[in-house]
Amino acid sequence: MGLLEGKKVFISGGSRGLGKAMCEVFAREGADIAFNYSNSVDDAEHTLARIQKLGRIGLAYKVSVTDKNGIQEMVDDIQREFGDIHILVNNAAINKADNFATTTERSWKSIVDVNVNGLYYVTKPIYKNMIRARYGKILNITSIGAIRALPTSVHYATTKAAVIGFTKCLAREAGNFGISVNAIAAGIYDTDLGHSLPEFFKNMYRNWSIKGCLGRPEDLAEFAAFMVSDRNAYMTGEVVTLDGGTVV
């Protein structure tokens, strides 16, 4: 049996990058997977095909995490299809290379809307169902940019620091209902989001990292599968750094 045999999972932003890798690894470990995406139907269909090839059920929803009503309708549909959602991974996020002095209000609001408000919109309805079930695993993907003075965008780092506060405080409340809440502080990975960063920053990162390279999405996905499994029974309220050993 796999680590996640029989589990029902929702992963936000599951069509590409880290989300896609987690969809595939979690399916391999025995879970049925639902995910949302915002843009590419082709990417979503490819992820669905990978889930199904692994013998699991896949559900894909074209809805933004910023669409509160759309997310609620999606969660209701997943509950009808799957029953209880056992595992939630808050992965969806956006970034934009920017200096704080030139950051526009529109840019600030767009990053906050996806990375913070989207976190709320997705988690709230699923969390309420987990409370009723008295069981759940929530994993939030944050960033080392939230905890180290890296040359990343201030708005992105701010939102990812909010994810850490969300994780720790929700874990305290959720523990009363048999729900664990943890986070991974990710370094830079070989994804579209990672490659949106300036080339000089990625080269600096390779020099900082003990591993000397960007991370592979599957590296994070393999560890994430353990974090949300029942074998990881005692951890909650923790933020685990997974960045190839950066030494800044």
Count of positions (residues) in the chain: 248
pLDDT in tens, 54-65: 999 999 999 999
Residue type, 131: I
For 10, the 3-state DSSP assignment is strand
Q: Looking at the DSSP assignment, which residues form a beta bridge with residue 87? A: 9, 137
Model confidence at 248, pLDDT cuts 50, 70, 90, reads low
Q: Is the pLDDT of residue 234 over 70?
A: yes
Tokens matching residue 222: 């393999």
Q: What are phi and psi of 200, to 5 degrees?
A: -65, -35
* pTM confidence score: 0.95
pLDDT number for residue 220 = 97
pLDDT number for residue 98 = 86
The active-site residue out of 61, 121, 156, 205 is: 156
pLDDT number for residue 243 = 93
pLDDT number for residue 110 = 96
pLDDT number for residue 247 = 64
Count each helix (H run) and each strand (E run) in the chain, helices first: 9, 7
User: How high does pLDDT run on average in the chain?
Assistant: 94
pLDDT number for residue 26 = 98
Cα–Cα nearest to 241, from 185, 196, 190, 199: 185
pLDDT in tens, 159-176: 999 999 999 999 999 999
User: Does the annotation count 120 as an active-site position?
Assistant: no
For 90, the 3-state DSSP assignment is strand
Q: For domain 8-242, which CATH number applies: 3.30.365.10, 3.40.50.970, 3.40.50.720, 3.40.50.11540? A: 3.40.50.720
Q: What are phi and psi of 63, to 5 degrees?
A: -155, 140
* Lowest mean per-residue pLDDT among 15-24, 36-45, 146-155, 175-184: 146-155
pLDDT number for residue 171 = 98
Residue type, 190: D
For 170, the 3-state DSSP assignment is helix
- CA–CA dist 205, 246 (Å, integer): 8
Q: In sequence order, which residues have a C-beta less than 8 Å from that of residue 41 and are 6 or more positions away?
A: 62
